[in-house]
Amino acid sequence: MGKTEETKLVEMLRDESQRRKAFSILVKDYSEGLYWQIRKMVLSHDDANDILQNTFLKSWSNLNQFRGDSKISTWLYRIAINETYTFLNKERQKNMIGITDLEDTMAQNLQGDPFFDGDEAAKKLQRAILTLPEKQRLVFNMKYYDDLKYEEISEIVGTSVGALKASYHYAVQKIEAFMAMDL
């Protein structure tokens, strides 16, 4: 979405008579991008679908709080990331009674997932990514899979470009070390 289009959309969202129509455009334009970002964090389609719905419901109910300081896409990505973190924390708390980590469970679930289309190497890469802390995992996904610019990632996650570069570098090192292990 271009800058002019985004400005127009924001104006429509502020106008109560056009808000509903503008939000439909917002859902159509951003649901796919947001979905993939969430999916790469939670891996399961059903969980990603639930988080995406919550993201849009939250953004609809908090539309008045969008001041226009950042791009609407950045605002949506932030909500999606927060919803993802909230989901993962809840799952981790539920998983505390079990003997396996949430990340182990998530990796195991990939085995029988009908919506996972990766080979053994891709599965191992997913397991390696799951060993990273959540924020580092997010940065890695944004850079490795989506090839986003560090400036764009910085705007979304609120971390300096330098720190992001270092985080990505360490993430790659950790993942390569994991991939080198015979598991």
For binding to other proteins (CB under 8 A), which residues are involved? Answer: 20, 23-24, 27-28, 31-32, 35-36, 39-40, 43, 45, 49, 52-53, 56-57, 60-61, 114-118, 120-122, 124-126, 144-145, 147, 172, 175-176, 179-180, 182-183
Closest to other proteins by CB, 39 vs 137, is 39
Shortest distance, position 14 Cβ to other proteins, whole Å: 17
Please, which residues have CB within 8 angstroms of residue 107's CB and are 6 or more apart in sequence? 123, 126, 127, 130
Shortest distance, position 96 Cβ to other proteins, whole Å: 27
The amino acid that residue 61 corresponds to is S
**Largest separation between any pair of C-alpha atoms in the chain:** 60
Half-sphere exposure of 182 (CA within 13 A, CB side): 0
- Contact between 130 and 107 (Cβ < 8 Å): yes
Residue 183 tokens, joined? 């598991």
- Contact between 26 and 9 (Cβ < 8 Å): yes
Shortest distance, position 161 Cβ to other proteins, whole Å: 21
Shortest distance, position 19 Cβ to other proteins, whole Å: 10
Shortest distance, position 36 Cβ to other proteins, whole Å: 7
User: Tell me, what DSSP letter sits at residue 159?
Assistant: -
Closest to other proteins by CB, 27 vs 157, is 27
Closest to other proteins by CB, 14 vs 45, is 45
Closest to other proteins by CB, 19 vs 135, is 19
Give the integer Cα–Cα distance in Å for 151 and 153: 6
Closest to other proteins by CB, 43 vs 88, is 43
